[in-house]
């Protein structure tokens, strides 16, 4: 019996150390006063955290990633909400095909999406890198938007809007006044999931970078190949706290995990 | 259910057309490149050529090997962890599950970067080894299959644990005590009772982990360096270093076929018993 009592804390201790430990080391390393990335950190300072904000390429790529994550998710929702509604509320021939097409970007490795966009959209149609990144990130978020909104619609009884229509509301009016307010939590959850997915995404954006146009994670990889100072650690720690904060708030107020 | 077909199409088509134009068409064209013969017409010579190179074979086999290895080890650790979590009291269970899920919210770049600090020449592991007298000179752990293995395992283990938690929770509560009373030892309990009853969970988790390993770019790029390649990093190198788009197309199709196969398996198992909720 003793063995079993020890089994649980030892197993969980080891697993959690393995999963979280490396992240804590990154956080500790970012407070180092030394010139190179090392653990245990040499002394204590905030210089690397301060440096993050002075690196110009980090700032530019941060704005780019923010723009892609917010804009891409908004467009994915504008496309995805009506599609999810059609798929869950209408008798639609070929519904399965549409669902497969819309959710395909999740199955195909991101690096292939990026490369094919570069070769067959950017080059032949002379599309700018920023627009290409925007299209790629929107396509990538679309499956998540459709899945989360569909789940949310599935939890909502469809006879409510049928009743509204019978009582004289237009289909559109019923959607905006009855359905939309009821799936608000699902839409917010889809937005957060889309934001985090897009912001952390690397492979899709790998080939889609031009002079001065890069997403933040791609920029971080490029930076750490040249400079081995703790600033990438500091930036990683800051970004991680940002993502964790967003998800924590979402869970607290929206019950995020119900939809994901 | 509304019946108006035109209305339904008007709602669903923009999303479908967008995905088709931005995503499906370019990917299909890219894949067809691998079958184009130089003088027109179609051929599979790019594929035979790809697999005739011993470097490419090694990368292909390494990708399969690491994917399989990570999946198996994740399943073993996953069962132990999920079993421990399920036997916690409800309040603690939620907190521990939260800690397991937490890394999924952190950028893979940050998560992979940490291993440089741990496994590098002057990293924690080498410091410890030298202090303990296990090795004199620093060991070369970074830029090896071992480093990639560790990085991938850390990246995808949470997906396996989550899948197994829900599988174990759906298992009848008295199955294990019943088997124990009837004289089964713990190995028999696992093999004859737990494994069959949680088959879907481990298959779903395994598929997520395996496809994740297959399509991970950052981990092999940072922890494998330019020498220890996997299919994703080989694809990147073919494009950026060799400018060989035909080889890139071949690798792309191999990756897609492998991850589609894994996903079809996932769907089969998930629909075979529609009860388990798929986490991802």
Number of domains in chain A: 1
**Of B23, B114, B161, Cβ closest to residue A23:** B114
CA distances from residue B123 to A22, A49, A177, A241, B172 in whole angstroms, order as listed: 12, 21, 59, 24, 46
Query: What is the average pLDDT across B252-277?
Result: 76
Query: What is the average pLDDT across A182-186?
Result: 87
Q: Please report which confidence band the pLDDT of residue A3 belongs to, taking 50, 70 and 90 as the band edges.
A: low
pTM, to two decimals: 0.88
Query: What is the average pLDDT across A180-204?
Result: 90
Higher-pLDDT residue of B13, B280: B13
CA B100 to chain A, closest CA, distance in angstroms equals 7
Question: φ, ψ for residue A33 (rounded to 5)?
Answer: -100, -10
Specify which residues A210 forms β-bridges with.
A213
Question: φ, ψ for residue A90 (rounded to 5)?
Answer: -115, 150
User: Which tokens sit at A85?
Assistant: 């509604």
**Of B27, B103, B218, Cβ closest to residue A113:** B27
Q: Inter-chain contact A243–B157, Cβ cutoff 8 Å?
A: no
Report d(CA A80, CA A102) in Å as an integer: 9
Q: Inter-chain contact B81–A12, Cβ cutoff 8 Å?
A: yes
CATH fold of the domain at B68-272: MetI-like fold (1.10.3720)
* Number of other residues whose CB lies within 10 A of the CB of residue A170: 11
Residue A29, in any domain of the structure: no
Q: What is the percentage of chain B residues whose pLDDT exceeds 90?
A: 51
Is pLDDT of A2 > 80? Answer: no
Q: Inter-chain contact A26–B110, Cβ cutoff 8 Å?
A: yes
User: For the complex shown, is ipTM > 0.95?
Assistant: no
**Of A91, A142, A206, Cβ closest to residue B3:** A91
Q: Inter-chain contact A171–B7, Cβ cutoff 8 Å?
A: yes
Residue A220, in any domain of the structure: yes
Residue A251, in any domain of the structure: yes
Q: Inter-chain contact A139–B87, Cβ cutoff 8 Å?
A: no
Q: Which range among A174-188, B70-84, B130-144 shows the weakest confidence by mean pLDDT? A: B130-144
**Of A121, A139, A221, Cβ closest to residue B19:** A139
Where in the sequence is the domain holding A210, given as residue range(s)? 55-258
Where along chain B do its domains lie?
68-272
Burial class of residue B274 (count of CB atoms within 10 Å of its CB; 0-12, 13-18, 19+) = exposed
Mean per-residue pLDDT over chain B, rounded: 88
End-to-end CA, chain A: 38
Structure confidence at residue A140 (pLDDT) = 93
Q: Inter-chain contact B15–A23, Cβ cutoff 8 Å?
A: no
Q: Are A133 and A213 in contact (CB under 8 A)?
A: yes
CATH value at residue A161: 1.10.3720.10
**A221 interaction partners in chain B (CB closer than 8 Å):** 109, 218, 221-222
Q: Does A80 touch chain B (CB under 8 A)?
A: yes
**B260 interaction partners in chain A (CB closer than 8 Å):** 107
Give residue-wise pLDDT tens across range B13-50: 999 999 999 999 999 999 999 998 888 889 999 999 99
Higher-pLDDT residue of B214, A158: B214
**Of A85, A112, A202, Cβ closest to residue B252:** A112
The continuous run of DSSP H or E covering B91 comes out as helix B90-101
Is pLDDT of A99 > 60? Answer: yes
Cβ contacts of A187 within 8 Å, gap of 6 or more: A77, A81, A149, A152, A180
**A233 interaction partners in chain B (CB closer than 8 Å):** 113, 117
Chain A window 16-75: which residues touch B at a Cβ cutoff of 8 Å? 16, 18-20, 22-23, 25-26, 29, 37-39
Give residue-wise pLDDT tens across range A230-241: 888 899 889 888
Residue A9, in any domain of the structure: no
R_g of chain A computed on alpha carbons = 22
Is pLDDT of B273 > 70? Answer: no
Conformational region of residue B225, where left means phi above 0, alpha means psi within -120 to 50, and beta covers everything else: left
Q: Please report which confidence band the pLDDT of residue B157 belongs to, taking 50, 70 and 90 as the band edges.
A: very high
3-state helix/strand/coil string of A21-68:
HHHHHHHHHCCCCCCCCCCCCCCCCCHHHHHHCCCHHHHHHHHHHHHH
Q: Inter-chain contact A25–B124, Cβ cutoff 8 Å?
A: yes
Cβ contacts of A129 within 8 Å, gap of 6 or more: A122, A208, A209, A210, A213
Q: Does A236 touch chain B (CB under 8 A)?
A: yes
Structure confidence at residue B249 (pLDDT) = 95
Cα dihedral B266, B267, B271, B272 sign:
negative
Structure confidence at residue B7 (pLDDT) = 85
Mean per-residue pLDDT over chain A, rounded: 88
Q: Give the highest mean pLDDT range of A198-202, A205-209, B150-154, B177-181.
A: B150-154
Nearest to B79 by CA among B13, B146, B162, B178: B162
Structure confidence at residue B246 (pLDDT) = 93
3-state helix/strand/coil string of A150-188:
HHHHHCCCCHHHHHHHHCCCCHHHHHHHHHHHHCHHHHH
Q: Inter-chain contact A16–B99, Cβ cutoff 8 Å?
A: yes
**A93 interaction partners in chain B (CB closer than 8 Å):** 5
Nearest to A175 by CA among A185, A167, A165: A165
């Amino acid at each position: 019996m003793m063995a079993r009592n020890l089994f649980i804390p030892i197993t969980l201790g080891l697993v959690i150390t393995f999963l979280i430990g490396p992240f804590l080391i990154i956080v500790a390393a970012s407070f180092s006063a030394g010139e190179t990335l090392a653990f245990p950190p040499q002394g204590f300072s905030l210089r690397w955290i301060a440096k993050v904000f002075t690196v110009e390429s980090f700032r530019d790529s941060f704005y780019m990633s923010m723009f892609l994550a917010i804009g891409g998710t908004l467009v994915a929702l504008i496309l995805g909400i009506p599609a999810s509604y059609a798929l869950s509320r209408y008798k639609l021939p070929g519904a399965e095909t549409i669902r497969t097409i819309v959710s395909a970007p999740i199955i195909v490795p991101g690096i292939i999406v990026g490369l094919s966009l570069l070769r067959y959209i950017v080059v032949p149609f002379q599309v700018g890198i920023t627009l290409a990144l925007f299209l790629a990130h929107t396509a990538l978020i679309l499956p998540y938007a459709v899945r989360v909104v569909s789940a949310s619609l599935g939890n909502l009884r469809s006879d409510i809007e049928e009743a509204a229509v019978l009582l004289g509301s237009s289909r559109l009016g019923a959607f905006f006044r009855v359905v939309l307010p009821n799936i608000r939590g699902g839409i917010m959850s889809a937005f957060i999931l889309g934001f985090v997915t897009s912001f952390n995404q690397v492979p899709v954006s790998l080939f889609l970078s031009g002079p001065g146009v890069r997403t933040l994670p791609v920029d971080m990889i490029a930076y750490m190949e040249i400079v081995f100072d703790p600033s990438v650690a500091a930036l990683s720690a800051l970004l991680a706290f940002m993502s964790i904060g967003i998800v924590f708030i979402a869970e607290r107020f929206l019950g995020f995990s119900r939809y994901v | 259910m509304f019946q108006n077909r035109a209305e339904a199409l008007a709602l669903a088509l923009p999303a479908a057309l967008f995905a088709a134009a931005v995503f499906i068409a370019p990917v299909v064209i890219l894949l067809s490149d691998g079958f184009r013969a130089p003088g027109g017409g179609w051929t599979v010579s790019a594929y035979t050529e790809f697999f005739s190179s011993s470097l490419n074979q090694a990368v292909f086999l390494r990708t399969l090997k690491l994917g399989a290895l990570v999946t198996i080890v994740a399943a073993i650790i996953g069962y132990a962890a999920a079993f421990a979590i399920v036997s916690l009291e409800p309040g603690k269970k939620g907190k521990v599950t939260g800690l397991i899920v937490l890394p999924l919210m952190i950028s893979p770049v940050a998560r992979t970067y940490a291993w440089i600090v741990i496994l590098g020449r002057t990293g924690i592991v080498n410091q410890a080894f030298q202090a303990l007298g296990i090795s004199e000179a620093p060991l070369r752990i970074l830029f090896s299959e071992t480093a990639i293995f560790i990085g991938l395992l850390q990246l995808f283990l949470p997906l396996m644990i989550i899948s197994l938690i829900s599988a174990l929770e759906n298992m009848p509560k008295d199955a294990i005590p019943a088997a124990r009373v009837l004289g089964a030892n713990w190995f028999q309990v696992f093999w004859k009772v737990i494994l069959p009853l949680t088959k879907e969970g481990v298959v779903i988790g395994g598929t997520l982990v395996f496809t994740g390993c297959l399509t991970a770019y950052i981990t092999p790029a940072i922890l494998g360096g330019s020498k220890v390649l996997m299919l994703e990093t080989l694809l990147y190198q073919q494009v950026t270093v060799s400018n060989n788009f035909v080889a890139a197309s071949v690798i792309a199709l191999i990756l897609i076929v492998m991850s589609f196969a894994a996903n079809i398996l996932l769907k089969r198992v998930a629909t075979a018993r529609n009860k388990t909720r798929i986490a991802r």
